[in-house]
């Protein structure tokens, strides 16, 4: 499930991979408090939004929770691409980069 810090989370609504997502924005930032166990940090590019997602064991769970159609984003961890079955671990920082161009 998506979680936002109760005191500092703000509701956000935006479009990624052309799917409207309603989620709570991660407001801790790199200098924020330590994440509780089982939480994955996610940044969406090029939108630059940040989230924390919990109970996402695999990439497929993460995409499902964020309501992102598979194949519309690159799933990046460090200098590697992850496939949908890849396991996620606590404190992973994942970039979801839209592959869609328009115009």
Partner 1 sequence: MKCTRCRKPAEVKLRAHNSAFCRACYVVFFRRRVVRTIEKQKMFDGDARVLVAVSGGKDSLALWDVLAEEGYQTVGFHLALGIGAYSGRSLEKTEEFARARGLELRTHTLADEGLAVPDMMVATNRPACAACGTAKRHYFDSAALEYDCNVIATGHNLDDEAARLLGNVLRWQTDHLARQRPVMQPTHEKFVRKVKPLYLTSELETASFAFLSGIEYVVEECPNAAGATQLTYKALLDQLESTSPGSKLSFVNEFVTRGSAGFLAKERGAAPSTCGGCGMPSFGELCSFCSLRAEIQRKQASASAPASRS
Residue 35 CB, shortest distance to partner 1, in Å, is 25
User: Residue 4 or residue 17: which is nearer to partner 1 going by CB?
Assistant: 17
Which residues would be at the binding site for partner 1 (CB under 8 A)? 17-19, 45-46, 69-72, 74, 76, 80-86, 97-103
Residue 85 CB, shortest distance to partner 1, in Å, is 5
Distance CA(16)–CA(100), nearest Å, equals 9
Distance CA(33)–CA(103), nearest Å, equals 41
User: Residue 21 or residue 39: which is nearer to partner 1 going by CB?
Assistant: 21
User: Residue 74 or residue 91: which is nearer to partner 1 going by CB?
Assistant: 74
Chain centroid to CA 60: how far?
12
89: Cβ contacts below 8 Å, ≥ 6 apart? none
């Amino acid at each position: 499930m998506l979680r936002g810090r109760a005191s500092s989370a703000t509701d956000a609504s935006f479009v990624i991979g052309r799917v409207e997502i309603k989620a709570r924005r991660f407001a801790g930032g790199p200098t924020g408090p330590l994440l509780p166990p089982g939480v994955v940090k996610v940044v969406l590019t090029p939108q630059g939004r940040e989230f924390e997602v919990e109970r996402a064991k695999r990439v497929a769970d993460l995409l499902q929770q964020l309501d992102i159609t598979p194949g519309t984003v690159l799933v990046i961890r460090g200098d590697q691409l992850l496939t949908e079955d890849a396991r996620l671990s606590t404190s992973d920082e994942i970039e979801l980069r839209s592959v869609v161009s328009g115009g």
